[in-house]
Each structure stands twice: as structure tokens, then as C-alpha cells.
Amino acid sequence: MGDSDLKKALETEEMQQLLPLVVEIIPGQAAEGLIDIYEPGSYEGRTLRKLCDKTLSKKKWTIEEQLIIEDIRRQLEGGKLLCRGKEIEGSALEYAIAEKTEAGEKYLYVPVRAIKPQEGGARRESRGAMHRAAVSGA
């Protein structure tokens, strides 16, 4: 391990210990999602999946947040949690991006999207069948 690799590893370790982790679970194609903040040390060694499950199982949310949770749960019926286009597996820190608030405070941010596969493929197929039937005179 070179000097730069060692320095980077130490900075990463230091960052993980000192910064809060902000997990945002976004339903479908929505612009905003449910935000949960984990204090430094509270997310260490946990998978992103476990943190998302913990967030979704909490009971004390505002009415607006409860509506977002309902939307997330609808998306997860047959859907998946994705981060950067991939299914979430592994440590939350693997997906975290260092960010700063307007006040200059640093934190780690992980955007997770709850995506349900698109439906309606059968409808297109039946339209094609109706079109073929009409053209063939059936």
C-alpha cells in the first residue's frame, strides 16, 4: 500500500467515525423521499439493506412522511431497493457520498430508490393482436 493509498484509507476511516449518515429512500420516480439520519458509529458494520429496513420500520413519522412510506411500500411490492442503478448489497459506507450542508457541515449521503418494475406490457400485446385481427379481417 503506497503513501497515498494509506492516507486515503485513513481519511476514509476518520470520515466514517466522525460523520453522520443520511439515508434517503425515494419512492419510484419521485423527486424527494424519506430521510433518516444515523449518528456516527450507529451505522458502522451495518448493511444498507438493514438500515433501510430499520428506517421503514420506525413508527414516529409526520403525516407527510407516512404517505412517503406508503408509496415506498407500494413500490416494494414486487420491486427492489436500488442505489446507483444496482440492487443494494453490502455496507452502507460502500454507497455513501461525502456532502456538505449550506453551513459547511460534512455528512455522508446515500440515495436509495424503491423501484417497482413497469407494468402494462400485456396491454401493448393485446393492442397488437387487435390490430392484426382488424387487418386480417377476422
Name the burial class of residue 15, with classes exposed (0-12), middle (13-18) and buried (19+) by CB atoms within 10 angstroms of its CB: middle
**Collapsing DSSP states into helix, strand and coil, what is residue 55?**
helix
Confidence (pTM): 0.73
Sign of the alpha-carbon dihedral angle for 12, 52, 112, 40: negative
How far apart CA 24 and CA 27 sit, in angstroms, is 10
- Domains in the chain, number: 1
Residues facing residue 80 across a β-bridge: 115
Query: Along the 138 residues of the chain, how does pLDDT read in single tens digits?
Result: 555 444 444 455 555 558 999 999 999 988 899 999 999 989 988 999 999 999 999 999 999 999 999 999 999 999 999 998 889 988 988 899 999 999 999 999 999 999 988 755 443 343 444 444 444 454
Q: Which domain holds residue 121?
A: 3-136
